Amino acid sequence: MTDGLVIPPGAGRKFVTKAQEVTFKVTGDHSRTGSLFEVVVPPGFDVGAHVHTRTEEIFYVLDGELELLAFEPDERTPEDWRSWRGSDGRRPVRAGPGSCMFVPAGCPHAFTNPHDTPARMLFLSAPPPDHEAYFEELLEMFDSGTANVDAVINLREKYDIQQITPLRFDAAES
């Protein structure tokens, strides 16, 4: 491809389920270096602390507020990443619009929406296309009603996502 790409607001390939909304803006079909998604994070959604061995990610908060983690803790406790502490005293942070989180490969990270209103973020994943396929399969699971914790964990493992703390995708589970 020698031409660039302009994606107007609201455009892109959109997946909407009861649990999540993801709009693919730039994919591996367009770029060799990264995939770009706009993600609506529903109230109570907690991706759980996890790590990738080969993927870098950047999260940029557009609307709302998320709680973010991107560091190796003194101890990886298996239940709740929100209590983690880094050896330098670092803790998870509340992040509003304009906040950005960079996650290199191998770095434990997580985000949650602890509020009762949706948040929106821009999410860059490199290299493509693993996260594109992951999102497609995950959202199909949500849509078909086959999403349960074990099925989602198995899917995440398939796409180089090693879960450390539980994923919570139902506000009632938070």
Query: What are the tens digits of pLDDT across the range 67-100?
Result: 999 999 999 999 899 999 999 999 999 999 999 9
Q: Which amino acid is located at 155 in the chain?
A: L
Query: What are the tens digits of pLDDT across the range 111-131?
Result: 999 999 999 999 999 998 888
Is the residue at 7 inside a domain? Answer: no
Closest CA to 164 of 69, 35, 89, 86: 69
Is the residue at 74 inside a domain? Answer: yes
| Domain that residue 69 falls in | 15-166
What does DSSP say about strands 162-163 and 100-103: parallel, antiparallel, or unpaired? Answer: unpaired
| Pair of tokens at residue 164 | 């450390």
If you compute the radius of gyration of the chain from its CA atoms, what whole number of angstroms results? 16
Number of domains in the chain: 1
Is the residue at 132 inside a domain? Answer: yes
